[in-house]
């Protein structure tokens, strides 16, 4: 018999679809866990919005998840992790972000300690990755650059397209010029661009996928708190979105790596 708190679901949220790459990794590592996912598709994208607007949205979603009785919240969005994690850490349950795990992984495998970071304007403007990386390795050199067109290109489905390759070359050029050996994909949409980014960055540059690293952090955190659910059971996932569920279901499979169960509509006015 598993105690009640272990049996509670994990709450995961993002501005839209990108966080599903984190759900995919959590389900791979922790198949016994139930997951409640919220994608704020009516207000996506967050990355070009201001920090106080992003914090307000993140708190609204977190209150919804807490009302649904989750045992932990995973902020599966680099933008929210970058600007709102401190505010969310005042909540009465454990909150996991995607920045720390990615920063740690970048440093652990870096020989030159020269690291590139790509993300949304809000993430890059916060310098959250640079600060996190230099907490682990104060002598590390970090170059950050904003790539605001990558999210719309992924959501357009142009993950393997000449335009996307040209945009990637333009965006990465100043960062690659510094001879980095690791590039942090600082947005949960970017794992879908891994092939394109890898081709542009070259084999010498490791690509750091924060979705994988974050799932590892969640596993360790829940294990240390003795809060993992029975790994033999089959976890279930529920999906909530703030815009129409149909388009979420249509695109979501690409991020999740398999079919998406139907999502339900969530209206913040009604909370």
Q: Which residues bind a copy of itself (CB under 8 A)?
A: 41-43, 48-50, 52-53, 148-149, 151-153, 155-156, 158, 162-163, 166-167, 170, 242-244, 246-247
Using the minimum distance from each CB to a copy of itself, give the nearer residue, 178 or 244: 244
Judge contact between 124 and 115, C-beta under 8 A.
no
Comparison of 52 and 195: residue with beta carbon closer to a copy of itself: 52
Q: What CA–CA distance (Å, rounded) separates 201 from 114?
A: 14
Q: Which of residues 78 and 110 has its CB atom nearest to a copy of itself in the complex?
A: 78
Least gap, CB of 92 to a copy of itself (angstroms) = 23
Helix (H, G, I), strand (E, B) or coil at 64: helix
SS3 249: helix
For 79-119, the DSSP string reads HHHHHHHHHHTTSSS-EE-SHHHHHHHHHHT-SS-EEEEEE
Q: Name the 3-class secondary structure at 143.
A: strand
Taking the least distance from each CB to a copy of itself, the nearer of 89 and 169 is 169
Q: Extract the tokens encoding 164.
A: 């996307």
Q: Can you tell me the distance from the alpha carbon of 112 to that of 206, in angstroms, rounded to the nearest whole number?
A: 12
The DSSP output letter for 246 is H
Strand partners, 182: 115, 206
Residue partners of 223: CB distance under 8 A and separation at least 6:
none
Helix axis angle, 78-88 to 128-136, nearest 10°: 70
Supply the minimum distance, in Å, between the C-beta of residue 4 and a copy of itself: 34
CB of 160 to a copy of itself, least distance (A): 14
Cα angle 210, 201, 132; round to 5:
35
Catalytic residues: 77, 187
**Closer CB to a copy of itself, residue 136 or residue 158?**
158
Provide the 3-class DSSP secondary structure of residue 236: coil
**Minimum CB–partner distance for residue 234 and a copy of itself (Å):** 32
**Residue 162 Cβ vs a copy of itself, minimum distance, rounded to whole Å:** 7
């Amino acid at each position: 018999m598993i105690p009640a708190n272990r049996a509670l679901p994990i709450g995961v949220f993002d501005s839209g679809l990108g966080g599903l790459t984190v759900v995919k990794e959590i389900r791979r590592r922790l198949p016994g866990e139930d997951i409640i996912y919220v994608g704020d598709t009516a207000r996506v994208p967050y990355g070009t919005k201001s920090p106080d607007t992003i914090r307000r949205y993140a708190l609204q979603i977190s209150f919804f998840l807490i009302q649904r009785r989750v045992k932990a919240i995973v902020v599966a969005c680099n933008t929210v992790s970058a600007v709102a994690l401190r505010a969310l850490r005042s909540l009465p349950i454990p909150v996991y972000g995607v920045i720390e795990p990615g920063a740690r992984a970048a440093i652990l495998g870096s020989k030159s300690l020269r690291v590139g970071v790509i993300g949304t304007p809000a993430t890059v403007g916060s310098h959250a990755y640079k600060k996190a990386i230099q907490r682990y390795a104060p002598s590390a050199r970090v170059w950050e650059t904003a790539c605001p067109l990558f999210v719309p290109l992924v959501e357009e489905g142009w993950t393997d397209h000449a335009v996307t390759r040209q945009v990637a070359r333009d965006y990465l050029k100043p960062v690659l010029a510094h001879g980095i050996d690791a590039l942090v994909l600082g947005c949960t949409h970017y794992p879908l661009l891994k092939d394109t980014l890898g081709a542009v960055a070259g084999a010498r540059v490791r690509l750091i996928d924060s979705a994988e690293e974050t799932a590892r952090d969640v596993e360790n955190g829940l294990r240390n708190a003795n809060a993992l659910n029975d790994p033999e059971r089959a976890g279930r996932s529920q999906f909530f979105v703030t815009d129409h569920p149909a388009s979420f279901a249509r695109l979501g499979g690409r991020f999740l790596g398999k079919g998406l169960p139907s999502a339900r509509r969530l209206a913040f006015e009604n909370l």
